[in-house]
Each structure stands twice: as C-alpha cells, then as structure tokens.
Amino acid sequence: MTANSANSATSAMSAMSARPNLRLCTVCGSACAKFKPGPHGTRLDASCPGCGALERHRFLALVVPALVAHASSTSSMSGGVLLDVAPMRGTTPLLKATVPYPYVGIDFDPSADRRVVDVTGSLTHVPLADASVSLLICMQVLEHIPDDAAAMCEIARVLAPGATAIVQVPRRRGIPTDEDPSVGPEERLARFGQADHVRYYGDDFEDRLLAAGLSIEILTGRDLIDDASAVLLGLPLTETLWLCARAGTGPGDLTAALRAAMPAVLASMLARSAATALAERTRLEGSLARLGPRRPLHRRALSYAARKVRR
C-alpha cells in the first residue's frame, strides 16, 4: 500500500468520523445511522442491522486481515488450516474470503445454535494433527467448557510454529475467576451472565493460558484505532482479544505489526463499504424501474431509500 493510499484512507475515516449519525460495519461493509441494541437490550449501538455483528465481531474483522497481511510479509502461519471454533454466521464468509488457508469450522453441538460446521467435535479433543493449524479463532467459547484447561492445551497442541490463536472470553477485572460447572441454569445466569456459561473469568485468565503452554499478547481497540474511528465502527476501545501462540514459537510483537497494517485494512474496508452501498443503490433503483408509474407509495419509499444510500 502506498503512502498516498494510506493518507487517503486516513482522511476518509476522519471525514466520516465527523458525522455523528454514521456507523460502518467492518464485517459486512454496510453503513447505517446507528447500530441496534445488543442481546437483551444490554448495550446500545451494538448490533449491525445488516448482519447482526456485535462489537467483538467487528474487532475480529479488523484484526484478521491485518494478521494475514503480517503473516504474508513474514512467511509465517503457512501450510495449515484456519480452525474456526463455534463459527459465527456473520464472520464466516469474511474469514473464508480473507484468510488464504483451508477453512475448518468446528462445534461440539452445532444444532444448538443452528451453526454450519465442517466437523462436529469438542475443543477438548480436536480431531486434527499436532501443529496443523495456521490460524485459530476461539471467540466466547472457553466460558462454556467445563474442562477449559484441556481446551487450552488442545489449542497449544494444534497450533503450528508461528501460528496465532485469537481468543476472547468475558472477563471481570479485580477478582479471580468464578466457576462451578455443577450449578443449574438459574444460578449460572446470576453468577456467570448466561445460562450455558460455567464460569466468569477474572484476573487469573492469563495464568490459565500460560499454564497450558501458550504465550499471550493482549490486544485492545485502543492499540489499533483512535476515538473517532471507534465511534464510527461501533467498537469500544476497551474491546479485548488475546493473541496466543505455542510458547516459544510466537511471531513477535504482533501489536506493532497490526497497527502498521491498519491503514491498508481500513482502506480495504472503505472500498468494500462503497461497493456494498453501490450494490444496494442499484438494487433499489432496479426495483423502482420495475414498478413503473404504479404503486406511488412504494415508489416514494424506494426513492427515499435510494437517496439515503447515495449520501
């Protein structure tokens, strides 16, 4: 990416960030005035109305392209697969389009959330060979697994040298992990925030990862984007990911590498958003043409929608 392209992307982001009623989804590329509230209405301005992506999904969609760009430039993470644990519908197409490794989706009980997977299996017994994974995605999964130590050890086992696992869990600071897989759904909801969670991670989360043979690097939104971009993308600066590698084989200072790749990632995202808007405008104008002079109310509604897309 040239310096001019990077400057153009930065300028475009700054201009759009100045519009308070504009949000861009890094997952599907759509634009809207505001995101919808999150699950159970707990967080305002959280869920993309186009694809349903939440803050963590939008952060993942920023990090993965930057990570792939870094891996390509350093020839790391080559030769293995992308293992997506408990795949998310909105991010799966993006991962397949962005990551140049064979995609493998895995879930223990895919029917529970109507997931589409390639392999039915548990993260505590991954049916893959040692060192066979170039990139692993494990978002909001470990808090569901009674034996999370076994799952973390499996992550370490399947990661190839130089490969990265992107991990995220709910975590509260200032207290140790609270867990009890034996309690019922009501107590789980009260203690862990969800009826199918068996713990709420605390300050010892990193120690658990280290004990499983993983090295870790903690990445937050603040490491990659500024305040104005965070509002535009609906991404809290405190949003956190844990970048894990097999101990002694990590790719080095990933935060600096991802930050350096961010202008190119943002430029690509803006181009995709523009293409999405153009496709939507073309669709609306095609619908107008098919209506002809009839059904004036429908025509007015479609004309209004098309004008909004043009802006």
Query: What pLDDT score was predicted for residue 218?
Result: 96
| Average pLDDT of the chain, as a whole number | 84
Count of domains observed in the chain: 2
- Regarding beta strands 159-168 and 133-139, do their DSSP bridges make them parallel or antiparallel, or are they unpaired? parallel
Q: What is the CATH number of the domain that holds 26?
A: 3.40.50.150
Q: Are residues 235 and 294 in the same domain?
A: no
Query: What pLDDT score was predicted for residue 299?
Result: 46
Tens of pLDDT along 139-158? 999 999 999 999 999 999 99
Q: Are residues 221 and 281 in the same domain?
A: no
Q: Which residues contact 292 (CB under 8 A, 6 or more apart)?
A: none
For 114, the token pair is 């109507």
Q: Are residues 294 and 180 in the same domain?
A: no
Tens of pLDDT along 1-55? 555 555 555 555 555 655 667 889 999 888 888 999 988 777 888 999 989 999 9
Q: Are residues 290 and 268 in the same domain?
A: no
Query: What pLDDT score was predicted for residue 304?
Result: 46
Q: Are residues 261 and 143 in the same domain?
A: yes
Q: Are residues 48 and 192 in the same domain?
A: yes
Q: Are residues 96 and 193 in the same domain?
A: yes
> What is the pTM (predicted TM-score) of this model?
0.84
Range of the domain at 294: 277-310
Tens of pLDDT along 44-101? 889 999 899 999 999 999 999 999 988 877 766 567 999 999 998 889 999 999 999 9
Q: Which long-range contacts (CB under 8 A, 24 or more apart) does 97-102 make?
A: 98/64, 98/65, 98/68, 99/64, 99/68, 99/135, 100/68, 100/72, 101/77, 101/134, 101/135
| Cα 297 off chain centre by | 39
Q: Are residues 231 and 297 in the same domain?
A: no
Q: Are residues 50 and 142 in the same domain?
A: yes
Q: Return the C-alpha torsion angle 9, 228, 45, 298, nearest 10.
A: -50
- φ/ψ of 165, rounded to 5, equals -110, 125
Q: Are residues 28 and 129 in the same domain?
A: yes
Is the pLDDT at 189 greater than 50? The verdict is yes
Give the containing element (helix H, strand E) for 261: helix 254-291
178-182 mean pLDDT? 95
Query: What pLDDT score was predicted for residue 107?
Result: 92
Query: What pLDDT score was predicted for residue 21?
Result: 76
Euclidean distance between CA atoms 49 and 43, whole angstroms: 14
Of all residues in the chain, what percent carry a pLDDT higher than 70?
A: 79
Q: Are residues 173 and 296 in the same domain?
A: no
State whether residue 244 is helix, strand or coil. strand
- Within 10 angstroms of residue 20's Cβ, the number of other Cβ atoms is 10
Q: Are residues 27 and 67 in the same domain?
A: yes
Query: What pLDDT score was predicted for residue 117?
Result: 87
C-alpha closest to that of 94 among 82, 107, 106, 81: 82
